[in-house]
A and B are shown apart, each in its own frame.
Chain A
Amino acid sequence: MVDVPYDAIADAPPAEVPEVELYHPKSWWTQYVFSQDAKVIAIQYSLTATAIGLVALVLSWMMRLQLGFPGTFSFIDANQYLQFITMHGMIMVIYLLTALFLGGFGNYLIPLMVGARDMVFPYVNMLSYWVYLLAVVVLASTFFVPGGPTGAGWTLYPPQAILSGTPGQDWGIVLMLASLILFIIGFTMGGLNYVVTVLQARTRGMTLMRLPLTVWGIFTATVMALLAFPALFVASVMMLFDRLLGTSFFMPALIEMGQQMKYGGGSPILFQHLFWFFGHPEVYIVALPAFGIVSDLISTHARKNIFGYRMMVWAIVGIGALSFVVWAHHMYVSGMHPHFGFFFATTTLIIAIPTAIKVYNWVLTLWRGDIHLTVPMLFALGFIITFVNGGLTGLFLGNVVVDVPLSDTMFVVAHFHMVMGVAPIMVVLGAIYHWYPKVTGRMLDDWMGKFHFWVTFLGAYLIFFPMHYLGLQGVPRRYHDLGEAAFITPNVHTLNAFITVVALIVGFAQMVFLFNLVWSLFKGKASGGNPWRATTLEWQTPETPPGHGNWGKELPVVYRWAYDYSVPGAAQDFIPQNQPRATPALQGAAP
């Protein structure tokens, strides 16, 4: 922490909100397992999300093995293939990315970055993790129940999701819906914490416009998630009613195996509205924290203040608001009124404006910066390029006339993997390399990091670029076997085999990363308190890793925004947020 002269503190008005007494753990169990400390909860969230994410990674290998070498692997039949795609999608979007960005990074970074001792409701925060864990266990248990997990696709569209032709119709779909409901309850508990901590527990001097963009991103994404997840909750409850009690919210009259079913009159489109009312904001729930984090990574590692901070904040808020009025662009092929299609295409394209502002500002931050090609910076640069690529194909799909022929092809798969698969994962990885020294006190190994980056980055392009081409050829998604259609040319099979080989290589590169995480924990170079010479508060803690209560005796006081890098005339190329104006020559390195 910066050694602030006593006078500077004395000038500060007393805190308007009195400090709340911290909960202190009394035993090993309450310190490390049933902990109420946001930092421990963050690590619990991250480890659980990574563990279930690895399952999803293995599932993607299974899918690729089938697509690349159809008929070779007898243990992957058509039903299992559908189960793999469903579980892969659901885990990656909700149980990995949402949980990691909000539960993992949110818990660790919000209190530290706003200068709080902990989250405002630590007990509820702890409950949030345990309910999340329960949701993950329920989800994972579907692999072991009779009939296996559901194979309805991650969108779980009725009526097929609960018909007997779909794998996992007995238990899989019921447990999936139950798990989603649990996840949403758990997330709401956590989300209340993240929002109220930013609103109420910011330290003195930390105005909203001095918040690091990471906090802005996580805060806005949490507000969106709190408002959007209820749509998935309602959809899940209603589908559970349809499945278990025989109601007909979504189920139309059907004949199955020659038998008239008890359902009648329900509307599958109603489910699609509810699902996508959650589903589209979900894209930005994952993207906004990534936007925020990458802004901080770029600014720190280019030693330059973020370009257009105000615009960045407005763009985050603007994207958050706009994302609630674009949901039906996922439903162009559902037979909607053309005027609706026009409306939703327009709102979809309007989102490109604030998003483009962000991309320009990242590039302009780099312009004439003192760019250090550290591993976090490499991942941040990888993100910008990937996000632009994925965003551009989004412009194709946002237009009704282009979307209709491309709907349900590999083009869509390539688009969303680029924009909300690879791009946010680049940020997650960059952020782990960036904050690992704060969490553990040790640096991650640089060579392994660079190897990991280049294989992941180049590999992702070799996997997903050819998929756009496959999509334009008309290759459909979600097909176990392409069969012998005229439009499936031999090069489709060659490309599929190529993609599979690369996917396996990229997957194994992640094992190097996991090894690095464990190896560096014991053998990594000691990092000190502020190895990247960053300005934000989390790097100014008196201890590394930060102790219980984060700040020792006194909360820090904030005197400046989060991006004072390379300030002309300053003694160092960074000025921490808690360094007062009165003593500009202070040497502000952390211990």
Chain B
Amino acid sequence: MSAIILFMAVIAVIAGWWLSQQRLMAKPWLEEGGIGDFPGTGAMTWPAAKIGLGVFLAVAGSLFALFTSAYSMRMNMVDWRAMPVPALLWFNTGVLVLSSVALQWAYVATRRDNMNGVIVGLCAGGASAVTFLVGQLLAWQQLRAAGYFVASNPANSFFYMITAAHGLHLMGGLVALGRTTAKVWRGAEMAQLRLSVELCTIYWHFLLLVWLVLLGLLTGWTDDFVDICRRLLS
């Protein structure tokens, strides 16, 4: 369970830092009156959607950290046979990086009021994300053709399950991206677009980060790291 403990520790540090800014040492029973007396302790000024996305990323992060924990515990059993990683995954990873870059491009374009840049960025980001998903399906197909079925070994089972979970999150992201693109299509003002594009970009970067960690796990690169964590905890 080292991955999830590590993740929780990060969340605890963030939450602790935020709480430390909130005057938890105050004596509210002595502080009657003046609503402007305590600057910075009112409601957060970020848009609700942005805070909501932040909280959701913590939930999704917890989910993937738990998958990672389960993976690292299960891989210790004697029946574990590591699976060859299809070369296609490297292509898919590249495409996902491109997708993230394209959305970053769109985000920068919203800051510069460049509507064409936004359109190009959103379309390129969406297209490469769809390409990534198709690539993942092809990778599944290749593995099945090579005889690596979902139930033939736990390593395979984890591969299919974790890539499916990641893919489903990306599909959810594509729905949001589609709605944002539809807004552009309907001729929305840049001010209305800025937040939606920013949220999509943050989510895409998050999913890229998750994918890189998962890839490290599935290819066995992080085995040494997992081993060190396990030794630390035992």
Chain A residues proximal to chain B, CB less than 8 Å: 11-13, 16-17, 20, 120-121, 188, 191-192, 195-196, 199-210, 223, 226-227, 230-231, 233-234, 237-238, 241, 245-249, 262, 264-267, 270, 273-274, 277, 305, 309-310, 313-314, 317, 321, 324-325, 337, 557-561, 563-564, 580-582
Bound form: Cα–Cα A39–B78 in Å = 54
Bound-state CA distance A64–B56 (Å) is: 42
Other 19 A-B pairs with CB < 8 A, given A201-B48, A267-B73:
A16-B43, A121-B49, A199-B43, A200-B43, A200-B48, A206-B42, A223-B15, A226-B59, A227-B11, A227-B62, A241-B161, A245-B151, A248-B154, A277-B1, A305-B29, A559-B32, A559-B33, A560-B33, A581-B33
Q: Chain B residues near A17: list those with CB within 8 A.
A: 43-45
CB distance from B175 to the nearest CB of A (A): 13
B28-85 contacts to A (CB < 8 Å): 28-29, 31-36, 38, 41-46, 48-49, 51-52, 55-56, 58-59, 62-63, 66-67, 69-70, 73-74, 77-80
Q: Is B8's beta carbon under 8 Å from chain A?
A: yes
Q: Judge if B229 is at the interface, Cβ distance under 8 Å.
A: no
With A192-B56, A207-B41, A209-B22 known as contacts, the answer to whether A270 contacts B8 (CB < 8 A) is: no
Is A262 in contact with B151, judged by CB distance below 8 angstroms? yes
Q: Is the interface on chain B under 10, 10 to 19, 20 to 34, or 35 or more residues?
A: 35 or more
Q: Which residues of B contact A580 (CB under 8 A)?
A: 33
From known contacts A17-B45, A313-B24, infer whether A270 and B73 are also in contact, taking CB-CB under 8 Å: yes
Closest chain B residue to A278, Cβ basis: B66
- State A202–B38 Cα separation when bound (angstroms): 14
> Do A196 and B51 touch (CB < 8 A)?
yes
- Cβ contact within 8 Å between A208 and B33: no
Tell me the chain B residues, 2-37 only, with Cβ under 8 Å from chain A. Answer: 4-5, 8, 11-12, 15, 19, 22-29, 31-36
Please tell me if the beta carbons of B42 and A16 are within 8 angstroms of each other in the complex: yes
Residue from A210, A234, A267 within 8 A of B28 (CB atoms)? A210
Considering the complex, give the chain B residue whose CB is closest to the CB of A220.
B15
Residues in A neighbouring B69, C-beta threshold 8 A: 273-274
Is the pair A208, B154 in contact by a Cβ cutoff of 8 Å?
Answer: no
> Given B33, B66, B165, which contacts A277 in the complex, CB threshold below 8 Å?
B66
Is B150 part of the contact surface with A, judged by Cβ < 8 Å?
yes
Does B116 interact with chain A (Cβ within 8 Å)? no
* A337 lies within 8 A of B73 (CB): no
**CB-nearest residue of chain A to B156:** A247
- The complex places the Cα of A560 from the Cα of B69 at a distance, in Å, of 46
A226 to B57, CA, bound (A): 11
Instruction: Flag if B26 contacts A200 (CB, 8 Å).
Output: no
- Of B24, B51, B58, the residue contacting A208 (CB under 8 A) is B24
Pairs across A and B, CB under 8 Å, 24 listed? A12-B35, A13-B35, A13-B36, A16-B43, A120-B48, A188-B56, A192-B55, A192-B59, A199-B44, A205-B35, A226-B62, A245-B151, A248-B157, A264-B79, A266-B74, A266-B154, A274-B66, A277-B4, A310-B26, A337-B234, A558-B35, A559-B32, A561-B28, A561-B31
Query: What is the CB-to-nearest-CB distance from B82 to chain A, in angstroms, rounded to a whole number?
Result: 14
Nearest A residue (CB) for B18: A199
* Other-chain residue from B25, B35, B59 in contact with A557 (beta carbon distance below 8 A): B35
Chain A residues whose C-beta falls within 8 Å of the C-beta of B48 in the assembled complex? 20, 120-121, 196, 200-201
Query: In the complex, which residue of chain B has the Cβ closest to the Cβ of A252?
Result: B77
Residues of chain B contacted by A196 (CB below 8 angstroms): 48, 51-52, 55
A231 interface neighbour in B34, B66, B73, Cβ under 8 Å: B66
A227-B8, A310-B25 are known contacts. Are A192 and B70 too (CB-CB below 8 A)? Answer: no
Which B residues are in CB contact (< 8 Å) with A233? 63
A343's nearest neighbour on chain B, judged by CB, is: B233
With the chains together, A200 CA to B67 CA distance in Å?
A: 31
CA distance A12 to B43 in the complex (A): 15
Whether A249 and B12, one on each chain, are in contact in the complex, defined by CB atoms closer than 8 angstroms, is no
- CB neighbours (8 Å) of B19 from chain A are 317
Contact assessment for B66 and A226 in the assembled complex, using a CB-CB cutoff below 8 Å: no
Q: Is the CB of A247 within 8 A of B77?
A: no
Most buried by B among A16, A207, A561: A207
Complex-state Cα separation, A209 to B25, whole angstroms: 9
Bound CA span A563–B32, Å: 11
Residues of A within 8 A of B1 (CB): 273, 277
Q: Please indicate the chain B residues that have their CB under 8 angstroms from the CB of A248 in the complex.
A: 79, 151, 154, 157
Across the interface, A201 reaches (CB within 8 A) one of B33, B43, B234, namely B43
Complex Cα gap A366–B35 (Å): 30
Q: Which residue of A lies closest to B29 (CB)?
A: A561
Report chain B residues within 8 Å CB of A249.
70, 74, 154, 157
CB pair B157–A200 under 8 Å, yes or no, is no
Top-4 shortest CB links A-B: A265-B79, A205-B35, A581-B33, A561-B28
Q: Given contacts A196-B52, A209-B24, is CB(A238)–CB(B79) below 8 Å?
A: no
Q: Is the CB of B70 within 8 A of A238?
A: yes
Q: Which residues of B contact A191 (CB under 8 A)?
A: 59
Inter-subunit contact A200/B46 (CB<8 Å): yes
CB pair A273 B73 closer than 8 Å = yes
Complex contacts, A188 vs chain B, CB 8 Å: 56, 59
The answer to whether A200 and B234 touch across the interface, beta carbons within 8 angstroms, is: no
Contact B70 A234 (CB under 8 A): yes
**Which chain A residues lie closer than 8 Å to B58 at the CB level?**
226-227
A226 to B27, CA, bound (A): 30
Asked if B63 and A230 make an inter-chain contact with CB atoms under 8 angstroms apart, the answer reads: yes
Q: Measured between alpha carbons, how far is A188 from B61 in the docked complex, in Å? A: 13
The interface bits of chain B over 121-154 (1 if a CB of A lies within 8 angstroms of the residue's CB, else 0) are 0000000000000000000000000000011001
CA distance A274 to B34 in the complex (A): 48
The answer on a CB contact under 8 Å between B78 and A265 is yes
Which of B25, B44, B77, B150 makes the CB contact (< 8 A) with A267?
A: B77
B8 proximity list for chain A (CB < 8 A): 227, 324
Q: How far is the CA of A558 from the CA of B22 in the complex (A)?
A: 17
> Do residues B151 and A207 form an inter-chain contact, with CB atoms below 8 A?
no
- Bound Cα distance from A121 to B63, whole angstroms: 22
How distant is the Cα of A453 from the Cα of B74 in the complex, in angstroms?
Answer: 50
Residue of A nearest to B150 (CB): A245
In the complex, chain B residues whose CB is within 8 Å of the CB of A314? 24
* A83 CB → nearest B CB, Å: 28
Q: Which residues does chain B contribute within 8 Å of A274, judged by CB atoms?
A: 66, 69-70
Interchain nearest-CB distance for B128 vs A (Å): 27
Which residues of B have CB within 8 Å of A310? Answer: 24-28
Tell me the complex Cα distance, A303–B46, Å.
38
